[in-house]
Amino acid sequence: MPADPAKMTLSNSTPQWTLLFVAWLLGSVFCTAQAAAPNSQAAGGNAARGAVSKSYPPDRVEKGKSLFRQNCSFCHGRDATGGESGPDLTRSRLVTEDVDGDKIAAVVRNGRPEKGMPPFNLADDEISSLVAFIHTQQNDAIAAAGRPGGRKGVDVSDLQTGNVEAGRKYFNGAGGCASCHSPTGNLAGLASRYQGLELEEQMLYPKNAKSKVTVTLASGQTITGTLVYQDEFTVGLIDSSGTYRSWRTRDVRYNIYAPVNAHVTLFGKYTDDDIHNLMAYLQTLR
C-alpha cells in the first residue's frame, strides 16, 4: 500500500493523541450521568459536552457496523481507523466531542462534498446505529492506546480478487450501469485514466460530474445548460454557446438533472463481491 501522508502525520502526532486520551479520561469522569442513560437524546442544550465513554447496546453496534462496512469503510477503513481517502474516526476530535450523534449526524447527512465526503440519506435510526459503532470503535481504540497495532484500511489486494465476467454481467444487468455508460463510449479508456483505489473511488463517487439544468424564465422561455452554480438565491449555468448566465432563483423555475446521483443510490446496493467484480471488469477498459 502506498504511504499515505495524512496517515503518517496522524500516527506521528503524539501530542494530539495524548490530548484525546486526556479528554477521554476527563469525559469518563464527568459524564458518568450520561453513560448511565444509553438511550438519552443529548441534543438538548443542557447536556454535558465532551468525550463520553459509554457503552451502546451490542445489537445497535452490530447494526452500525454493517451499515458502516456498507457505506463508510471504503473511505474510513473497515474499523473506522482511516482508509485511503477518509480520516481515522477513532482519532477524530469531532467524534470525541460528539454526544449521541449531535455532531456526527450532521456530517453524515450533509457530507463535506468539497472535501470528498458525500452526503448520505439515512434514517435516524440508521444514523444512531452508525454513531454507536463509531463511538464503540473510538472507545476500543482509546482502551488499546499504547498497545502497538497495525491499522487496517482498504486492502489493495482486494481490488484484484474480482471476476471480469461477473462484473460485465452486473454492469449490463443488475447494476443498471449500461443505461448510462458504455465501455466503448463514455467509459472508454477509463482504466488508463484511473488505477487501483483511485478507479474504485471514481466508480463509487465520480468526482467533477456535471449536472444539467433547465431554467424557465417568467416569459416561458427555457434555457438548458450545465449547472455551475446554485444556492438558495442564485442559479447559474453555462449555456450551449459557452456563456455563463445566472438568475435569481425567485425569478425563474428550474429543474436540475444530476444522473450521477444514481451513484449515491447504487452505493447502498453493492455487495463487496459486486464491487470487486465491477473493478475487475472496469480494469479491462483501457
Distance CA 19, CA 160 (A): 40
Stretch that binds ligand HEC, among 8-16, 29-37, 55-63, 257-265 (CB under 6 A): 257-265
Q: Are 255 and 214 in contact (CB under 8 A)?
A: yes
Residue 92 as a binder of ligand HEC (CB under 6 A): the answer is yes
Chain-centroid distance of CA 65 in Å reads: 15
Least Cβ distance, residue 199 to ligand HEC (angstroms) = 7
Among 8, 206, 234, 271, binds ligand HEC (CB under 6 A): 206
DSSP summary character for residue 229: E
Among 180, 195, 229, 257, binds ligand HEC (CB under 6 A): 180
Using alpha carbons, select from 215, 197, 196 the residue that is nearest to residue 254: 215
Residue 228 as a binder of ligand HEC (CB under 6 A): the answer is no
First to last CA, the chain: 23
Among 10, 31, 61, 108, binds ligand HEC (CB under 6 A): 108
Least Cβ distance, residue 118 to ligand HEC (angstroms) = 6
Distance CA 96, CA 100 (A): 11
Among 82, 86, 162, 183, binds ligand HEC (CB under 6 A): 86
The CA–CA distances, whole Å, from 241 to 182, 214, 221, 255 equal 27, 15, 17, 20
Least Cβ distance, residue 247 to ligand HEC (angstroms) = 23
Least Cβ distance, residue 104 to ligand HEC (angstroms) = 5
Using alpha carbons, select from 219, 185, 201 the residue that is nearest to residue 263: 201
Q: Are 82 and 72 in contact (CB under 8 A)?
A: no
Give the interface with ligand HEC as residue ranges (CB under 6 A).
Answer: 71-72, 74-76, 85-87, 89, 92-95, 104, 107-108, 112, 115-118, 120, 130, 171, 175-177, 179-181, 187, 190, 202-203, 205-206, 209-210, 259-260, 262-263, 266, 278, 282
